[in-house]
Structure 1
Amino acid sequence: MPIRAMRGEGQRIAVEPTDGRPGRLSTRWLRLACECEECGDTASGKRWLTPADILVGVRATSIDVSASEVRVVWEDGHVSRYGSDFLADHAGGAGTSRFQPQLWGSDLSARLGRFAFDAVVADDEALFQSLRALRNHGIAMLTGVPAETEATARVASRYGPIRETSYGKVFDLISRPDARVAGETARAQIPHTDEPFRYSPPGFIFFHAIRTGAGTGGTSLMVDGFHVAELMRTRTPELFELLSRHGVTFHREHPGEVFFSAEAHVISLDTSGTVTGIRYNDRCLAPQTAPLDRIDGLIEALAELTRLICDPQNQFQHQLQPGEVLVFDNQRVLHGRSAFDPTLAVRHLRSCNIDRDGVHSAFRTLARRFAPEEAEAILYQGAIF
């Protein structure tokens, strides 16, 4: 029995837990939290009670506490029932917690979650474990994936609906002399997030290795953007402040086809100042607009971020093999690669995108079955500012 007693104190409700410190709830909050058949359910969206329906001076006339339920009768005769655990959590100040991601640098290899393709496509618990790894580290690896083009969509669709963009739904990155984008060249690429020039960049990316020419270069370089952001916050707080408060413009144009341009913070923060997303690609930086006395500082902030991204101590390096898939959060994990010789081997990756809300929805839905205590935590919501 988590609650021993509750009593009304005007616009507050005093809560005495069985264990722990006493707490209080807003009477108005308590009335609005009712989800009886008459008030409706917020999770389903079939909700009929609105905040405007709850008067400032609303009062409870009686409160009855039992082992698992609290029954409240309001002054207008309405009866509400609440789970005791639910009220005890909120009265104790806990409520819904925010998930804390696990940061990493070059040491990721020992912690990287690796999951078999056959298990992920057939078994929900294996899929959940891979989703948990994505939540924790922003990256996971799938192994034993058939080196066949149709396998890309087959496994990616287990994580959520595939997002179609101007580059297609599932697209091929093959080294070629007439490259349209940098991913089709053999040149080295500084770790970056994809498509920061979109108002809403891709959430999660699947890189499916079909042919890699292993041993000829093209090593994948992965960087935890949250880790390097925290390094900036510690070492150069004034530069961190610029990237989290000043808009930076990214653009992409294929004449006659598309012209994207978006201004956003490179480092996104929530209301508590926690890093929730990264948006950065040095190859897509537009000429920036800022007052003359601030432009040099902004460029130095971008330069410092680039230096941290290029530091091998902050990079997980991996030579992708045919049949491997790297799945990663494009609004947290930056990806790049070393140069390679296209005359020695063709490098062919299949790629597709899943919106982050689809991946997080899949995680929460499966967490209800396999880890209920993890289903309600607020997950970091990406590069949203």
Structure 2
Amino acid sequence: MMVASFARSLFVTGRQGISSLRAHYPKRHYEAFSLKHKNKVSILSVVPGGHHQSAKIIFDDSPSTTVNFKYIWLRDNCKCSRCVDQSTKQKLIDTPSLDVNIRPERLSVSSDGQLVVEWAENGQNHASVYEPDWLMRYSRCFIEDNFASPVDDEPASQRPPLTLWDRTTIWKNLPEISYAEVMESDKGLALWLEMFHRFGTALLRGVPTTKGKIIEVVKRFAYVKETSYGVTFDVVAEPDPEHLAYTGTHLHHHTDMNYREKSPGMQLLHCLKSTDTKGGSSDPGGMSFLVDGFRAANWLKENEPAAFHILSATPVRFQINVNGVKFSQTWPIICTDHDGEVTEIHYNNRTMGPLQAPTHLITPFYHSYHLLTEKIRTESMQFAFHLAPGDLLAFNNRRVLHGRTSFDETRVSRHLEGCYVDIDETMAIYDSLRNKI
């Protein structure tokens, strides 16, 4: 069994499992995980809030938490069968038709510590019941005045934290698994997707070297995303190439298709052939290498914050002509969320168009671009290896930069088959598998 030992530990349960999680993950992630295991909270009391637009709820935690919930928000989020379809969990209530100044007829707390709100609508009574733990989770955005997602409502927030890696880190915890395990068991598939989530890359070993096998692997968890390069594409040296990837040219670190409306989130490359036809003791070239773009961007944020700000605030145009058709799109090289956390990397010097920015930002941008590139190309950041026939490499195209050393086309016979996948489809299957296992 070729499953990395670190991955198995992610599916342990019970007291030992909690201890392992606490030791492995940062404290904040352990605390978030532990929220589901503590005793449920109840509501002590509820009274009308200020200006008669909200309910002031007092919870029984220690110290007691008091939160104001707007009536319109409570009415819009009623979970009864008249307001939410119980099978699909989709809303039936027509939110825009609600009176924004709505007020309830009565507020009370049930014997189970639930909030009960009674409304009078069109001459009919309507009762809404809210679980206290659900209200407590959502209270965070009102207390902290932010848009953070509640821990237990978003599948993404339940996933293990990302592992930002360099060469040493990833070689110690090589994210690899056998083809047979992934194709024959849900646990094997879950482990492989767990590796992909955490490291942004994962290897399948022992995949039959048959053209089209990559599609069978993808169908195990998602579907292939067809692009202007086809359902799949062949990375092989061609006499008259339309792309530098189809030559023996050195390809610096990059992410693919930044010139599209949304670059594909997941990329797979299956090695069908990689042989040195002439032999010899020297490296024939064609070595693949990956770099964790999130780690590089966070290094920049910590050590060169001004450069980080420039690269996350300056839109860059990426463009290319494919089969006579031009594609063009703008992205910052570093994309962040509202908390300033890195969410995507868009980096490809070969398709980056002329920078269009105010004159005073031109020099700072190039300086920042140089600093990030220098970090990315540092040897200690590289995960470099030769893809062997039967290896299938998957990586997050919006996090992990990939590239290839040059090779002599007269000496090396190299054939990779590649494809793209919508990453949200992949992660939805991963979340589903985690819930089952």
- Structure 1 residues 95 and 329, CA, compared in 2 at 3 Å: closer, same or farther? closer
Pick which of 296-305 and 35-44 moved more. 35-44
What does residue 236 of structure 1 align with?
304
Task: Give the aligned residue type for 2:65.
Answer: P
| Residue of structure 2 in register with 1:12 after alignment | 55
In the alignment, is residue 62 of structure 1 matched against residue 107 of structure 2?
A: yes
SS at 2:355 equivalent:
coil
- CA 1:344–1:23 in 2, change beyond 3 Å: closer, same or farther? farther
Letter aligned with residue 102 of structure 1? T
- Worse-matched range after superposition: 288-297 or 51-60: 51-60
Residues 119-156 of structure 1, C-alpha deviation per residue, up to 9 Å, x if partnerless?
22232222222222222121111112111112100001
Change (3 A) 1:26 1:122: same
Three-state SS of the structure 2 residue aligned to 1:152 is helix
Are the aligned partners of 2:268 and 2:419 in contact in 1 as well (CA < 8 Å)?
yes
Residue 373 of structure 1 corresponds to which residue in structure 2? none
Q: Counterpart in 2 of 1:376?
A: none
Report which stretch shifted further, 62-71 or 275-284. Answer: 62-71
TM-score, structure 1 as length reference: 0.88
Change (3 A) 1:277 1:60: farther
Does the residue aligned with 1:115 lie in a helix, a strand or coil?
Answer: strand
Show CA shifts across 1:218-260 (max 9, x none). 2211111111111111222222111111110111014x62111
| Structure 1 stretch displaced more, 274-283 or 85-94 | 85-94
Cα deviation for residue 57 of structure 1 reads 4.8
In structure 2, how many angstroms separate the alpha carbons of the residues matched to 1:184 and 1:224?
24
Give the corresponding residue for 2:27: none
Contact 1:25 1:90 survives alignment (8 Å): no
Q: Does 2:174 correspond to 1:112?
A: yes
Matched, 1:342 2:342: no
Residue in structure 1 matching 2:94, options 33, 49, 55: 49
**TM-score by structure 2 length?**
0.78
Match of 2:237 in 1: 175
The alignment's C-alpha RMSD in Å is 2.4
Asked if 2 retains the 8 angstrom alpha-carbon contact of 1:6 and 1:65, the reply is no
Instruction: Decide whether the 8 Å contact of 1:2 with 1:19 is kept in 2.
Output: no
Q: After superposition, where does 1:70-149 map in structure 2 within 5 Å?
A: 70-74=115-119, 76=121, 77-91=125-139, 96-97=150-151, 98=157, 100-106=161-167, 107-149=169-211
Distance 1:173 1:60 in 2: 68
Query: Does the Cα contact within 8 Å between 1:31 and 1:54 map onto a contact in 2?
Result: no
User: CA shift at 1:2, angstroms?
Assistant: 2.5
The 2-side partners of 1:83 and 1:170 are apart by 48
Q: CA deviation at 1:101?
A: 2.3
Name structure 1 gaps, 5 residues minimum.
371-385
- Give the whole-Å Cα distance in 2 for the aligned partners of 1:117 and 1:222: 21
**Residue 21 of structure 1: how far off its partner (Å):** 4.4
- SS of residue paired to 2:108: strand
286-295 or 54-63: bigger deviation: 54-63
Q: CA deviation at 1:56?
A: 3.3
RCO comparison, higher one (Cα < 8 Å, 6+): 1
Q: 1: distance between equivalents of 2:249 and 2:105?
A: 69
Q: Which residue type is aligned with residue 322 of structure 1?
A: P
CA drift of 1:81 comes to 2.8
Q: In the alignment, residue 360 of structure 2 is paired with which amino acid?
A: D
Give the equivalent residue in structure 2 for 1:381.
none
Deviations 1:155-190 (A, max 9, x none): 012232211011001111112343221211112211
Deviations 1:44-98 (A, max 9, x none): 5453231551533533613334558554333553112334432233346685244
Contact 1:190-1:336 within 8 A present in 2 as well: yes
Larger radius of gyration: 2
For residues 167 and 44 of structure 1, what CA distance do their matches in structure 2 show?
38
Alignment of 1:251-290 (within 5 A): 251-254=319-322, 257-290=324-357
Aligned residues: 369
The one of 348, 366, 381 equivalent to 2:433 is 366
1:210 aligns with 2:272: yes
* Paired residue secondary structure (1:78): strand
User: Normalized per residue, which structure has more helix?
Assistant: 2
Which structure 2 segments of 5+ residues have no match? 1-39, 142-147, 152-156, 277-282
Instruction: Provide the rounded CA distance (Å) in 2 between the counterparts of 1:19 and 1:159.
Output: 44
- Of stretches 15-24 and 79-88 in structure 1, the one that deviates more from structure 2 is 15-24
| Cα displacement string for residues 312-359 of structure 1 (whole angstroms, at most 9, x for unaligned residues) | 111111221111111111001100111222222211111000012211
The one-letter code sitting in structure 2 at the alignment partner of 1:241 is H
> Could you tell me which residue of structure 2 aligns to residue 221 of structure 1?
289
Q: Quick check: 2:43–2:132 contact (8 Å CA) kept in 1?
A: no
SS of 1:347 mapped into structure 2: strand
